[in-house]
Structure 1
């Protein structure tokens, strides 16, 4: 009863906050400058990471690019240098904590303090639980979640000291809603979203309001990792449109970015609608992609 009464006292604040949010929808958002900022992007050798590097290069940021693929990262670096950016590349295995800490130390000594960290590297295996090998499950969590801890622990202290910085978590719509045959991936992305949300409130509790956080949660993106994806929510997203939304979110300091925006509504509906209705709704959404089903092999 005491909690209920306390909630009633907060209703005026709720109404004011809702009105404020409504007004902000129609006002142009101020975009911050990242000129001269040291921006580190993991998984920068292809896809979203590569295109994000291009956009920061256009904004005259100093780039630090990490990827396990030396050829891919050098291609990205060459393109960014043509755009006028200063670029430093490091071949880093983001599934290896020691590799991350070693590379981070080199970055701090050779380049400087990173002020924008984009945790983009990720892996995905499209298979059911039985067809997903144990090392694949481990690697999924090492790259998609644990690497975020190690990079953040490496670069956050300087941000804390200066009360200035931005940590970006590239997660997925699969971090909010689940589909079959992506069990390890969905679990890791739920953890990545949890990492972003927990880090956000921890920074607030430590009164480091100058350090911003952003989490990107797109639907299927045409990067080649998932074969033949489809859903009634719309066509497979192109990396360019996802990166456009990501950059807008970073520069306007949005905490959570859904692409498409309808994903946000689905995450709300999952929490309030009856389970029977949700089962029908998920069939209507009709998520499909090529997957390996090991359970059938075990039965044979």
Structure 2
């Protein structure tokens, strides 16, 4: 226990120093963005977080919102809700795990409205199985939707953003992309890859002087049904309300932030990496992180995080 307490104390000191420097630099580096009169595309937008993101973009007076989902009825319902508020919206039925499906949908979007200004890669799935219970197709499907789809979808619209020297790519990753969690060997690995994708894309766009903004979002469990049955380990890591998450995503996007971790206390996952592994493991156990999935019953279809 002494090692755990010392570890937490060291984390606090280090976090304070890093935080002070980070706030100063962030104020200098961020630029404000607006969705007003811009085109927005959201994947996995038929339900859950994706639905709220699509509707939220419309509420921010986007010129056109494109809804991508594998469920036609769900996608149609979201488009109708957006159009009822006087905002243009269309949908495409897309299997994000299929190259031809994504290519066809991307071409259809370009023919309808031209390019996309704000791309929100939201779609994701989770199995919630223990490692030895996962089948190969479970793992493959998880990576197809959570990771490889980022490449398929972003390639459709990044060239136009580069040509205009303007655009934004948001990736809804997960707090699991910051720390390994029991019963998430497939999900966490796919989200770590998503995190790496976003960081590397940001670095590449900056290196070549492109005016493309990127945002990686790392929420703890969100109450959308995808993670039904999970538990909150402590008051520092509550189950998040989807409406609050969407509000903070748009605030981060519009303020030009590059990374959003929710809740803010989850940033401790980064700090744990500064500790010896044995101490970090004890801190994780003390916080109850690895027991959160013990009673998981959630949805495993392509919804969202």
With normalisation by structure 1, the TM-score equals 0.86
Residue of structure 2 in register with 1:139 after alignment:
141
2:253 to 250, 253, 257: 250
Q: How far is the alpha carbon of 1:106 from its aligned partner?
A: 0.6
Distance 1:164 1:136, change over 3 A: same
Q: Secondary structure at the match of 1:125?
A: coil
2:178 to 157, 176, 179: 176
Aligned length: 273
Q: How far is the alpha carbon of 1:291 from its aligned partner?
A: 4.7
What residue ranges of structure 2 are gaps of 5+ in the alignment? 1-16, 298-305
CA distances 1:20-43 after superposition (whole Å, capped 9, x unpaired): 834967x9x874322121101000
Whole-Å separation in 2 of the counterparts to 1:165 and 1:225: 29
Indicate if the aligned counterparts of 2:273 and 2:280 stay in contact, CA closer than 8 A.
Answer: no
Residue of structure 2 in register with 1:45 after alignment:
46
CA distances 1:233-254 after superposition (whole Å, capped 9, x unpaired): 3321111111111101111111
Matched, 1:239 2:242: yes
Task: With a CA cutoff of 8 Å and minimum separation of 6, indicate the structure with the bigger relative contact order.
Answer: 2
Distance 1:21 1:168, change over 3 A: same
Q: Secondary structure at the match of 1:236?
A: coil
Stretch deviating more after TM superposition (130-139 or 249-258): 130-139
Residue of structure 1 in register with 2:152 after alignment:
150
Q: How far is the alpha carbon of 1:226 from its aligned partner?
A: 1.8
What residue ranges of structure 1 are gaps of 5+ in the alignment? 1-14, 293-300
User: Which of 1 and 2 has greater Rg?
Assistant: 1
CA distances 1:99-118 after superposition (whole Å, capped 9, x unpaired): 11110011001121111110
* Residues 1-300 of structure 1 mapped to structure 2, 5 A cutoff: 21-22=23-24, 31-61=32-62, 62-208=64-210, 210-230=211-231, 231-232=233-234, 233-268=236-271, 270-287=272-289, 288-289=292-293, 290-291=295-296
Q: How far is the alpha carbon of 1:73 from its aligned partner?
A: 1.1
Whole-Å separation in 2 of the counterparts to 1:280 and 1:35: 47
Q: How far is the alpha carbon of 1:266 from its aligned partner?
A: 2.4
